[in-house]
């Protein structure tokens, strides 16, 4: 009877961790555009910034704490590693969001805009996506190793295949396609001649964005 209670407690704990992990991922999907919009819109309301940043800090710290508790109290196998990796991905996404938000804030309090701001944001997002991809690869590698040298099951193999397709293969394709498009766009922009101040003055040309 005690063993059944222990097993039920273990299963309920795992289910609770799954629910909390999914909730955290949904929260970062909601908080990410709000925080970035606050930084980009130059909104100076301290309360709005405090709410957005405090939510991001919570989503940064709590998944790490939960991953530590999972690894500390349970024997880490492939299924629990998926939960831990999900927590790590949430924290990585929040770190990227906070870094871009910090760039917006730095630009807000400067007299001149940051040079190559769009490129910096692109590279921050690229680094975040690469780290997420590496985490997914590590999960697949561990699951494959456990299936080959540990307990093999059709369920585990199915999860590895699905995880490999959606979190590794599709991410690799999307990242490579984004890189090629970015490189092609940069090549086309660099091939255009740069206008001199005299040409801009003669044609009464202005910036298409700020009209200056």
What integer pLDDT is reported at residue 45 of this predicted model?
Answer: 81
- Domain range list for the chain: 2-191
pLDDT of res. 211? 55
Rounded percentage of the chain residues whose pLDDT exceeds 70? 93
Residue 4, both tokens: 């059944």
pTM over 0.85: no
What are the DSSP calls for 20-85, one per residue? HHHHHHHHHHHHHHHHHHHHHTT---HHHHHHHHHHHHHHHHHHHHHHHHHHHHS---HHHHHHHH
Taking 50 as the threshold, does the pLDDT of residue 152 lie above it? yes
* Res. 58 pLDDT band, cuts 50 70 90: very high
pLDDT bracket for residue 209 (50, 70, 90): low
Q: Are 135 and 92 in contact (CB under 8 A)?
A: yes
The H or E element that residue 157 is part of is helix 154-163
Mark whether 207 is an active-site residue.
Answer: yes
| Tens-digit pLDDT profile for residues 153-190 | 777 778 788 878 888 888 889 989 988 998 898 888 88
Which residue among the candidates 56, 87, 138, 207 is catalytic per the annotation?
207
Q: What is the rounded distance in angstroms from the CA atom of residue 8 to the CA atom of residue 80? A: 16
Q: What is the pLDDT of residues 105-149, one digit of tens each?
A: 888 888 777 778 888 888 999 999 899 899 889 988 888 888 777
Contact, 101 vs 41, CB < 8 A? no
Report the C-alpha gap between 40 and 84 in whole angstroms: 32
Residue 101 has pLDDT above 80, yes or no: yes
**Residue 177 pLDDT:** 93
pLDDT at residue 3, as a whole number: 52
| Distance in angstroms (rounded) separating the CA atoms of residues 133 and 140 | 11
């Amino acid at each position: 009877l005690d063993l059944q209670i222990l097993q039920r407690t273990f299963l309920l704990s795992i289910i609770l961790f799954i629910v909390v992990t999914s909730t955290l991922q949904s929260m970062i999907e909601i908080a990410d555009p709000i925080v970035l919009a606050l930084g980009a819109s130059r909104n100076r309301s301290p309360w709005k910034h405090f709410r957005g940043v405090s939510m991001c800090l919570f989503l940064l710290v709590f998944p790490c704490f939960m991953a530590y508790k999972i690894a500390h109290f349970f024997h880490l196998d492939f299924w629990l590693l998926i939960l831990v990796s999900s927590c790590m991905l949430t924290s990585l996404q929040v770190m990227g969001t906070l870094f871009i938000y910090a760039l917006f804030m730095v630009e807000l309090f400067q007299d001149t805009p940051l040079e190559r701001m769009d490129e910096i944001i692109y590279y921050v997002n690229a680094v975040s996506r690469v780290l997420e991809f590496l985490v997914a690869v590590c999960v697949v590698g561990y699951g494959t190793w456990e299936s080959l040298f540990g307990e093999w099951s059709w369920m585990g193999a199915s999860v590895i295949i699905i995880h490999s397709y959606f979190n590794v293969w599709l991410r690799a394709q999307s990242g490579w396609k984004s890189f090629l498009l970015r490189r092609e766009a940069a090549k086309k922009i660099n091939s255009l001649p740069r206008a001199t101040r005299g040409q801009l003055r003669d044609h009464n040309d202005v910036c298409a964005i700020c009209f200056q």
